[in-house]
Amino acid sequence: MLAFDSDIAPIVGQQVTLSSVNLTTAAARVTLLEQRAAAPFTSLVLGGKVTECDLVASVVANGSRRELSVCPASQVFTSVSGSSLTDAALRAMAAIPGKEVTFTCLPPGSGTRVVSSQ
């Protein structure tokens, strides 16, 4: 067996959907994703110090999907249009049936690209 270092943190690719059904059980996983998005990581491919991942939240509001990326220092999620939601506001939104929020850890530098493609 051959193994090759991917130079990407293990949290990359993990995803969880927070909803009114699983609010208490999935909340810990969301917290972990947020912590990893703030954790420093040294990447040879990306040129040195980055964070382990970019965290993006996907919500459906007013019939359209919005992507928001987190600023780990402030725990504020911001969309490309400039609107922002706090972590607490996103979790409160997820508690409403039909207003699920999906959190995804992306490779460092990819979060902005995903959000700006909206």
Residue range 36-89, pLDDT digits in tens: 999 999 888 777 788 999 999 999 877 788 899 998 888 899 888 888 899 999
The residues near 96 (Cβ < 8 Å, ≥ 6 apart) are: 20
Residue 117 main-chain phi, psi, to 5 deg: -80, 0
What's the rounded mean pLDDT across residues 101-108? 94
% of the chain beyond a pLDDT of 70: 97
**Higher local confidence (pLDDT), 91 or 45:** 91
The domain spans of the chain are 15-116
Per the CB < 8 A criterion, the answer to whether 92 and 23 are in contact is no
Is this model's pTM higher than 0.85 or not? yes
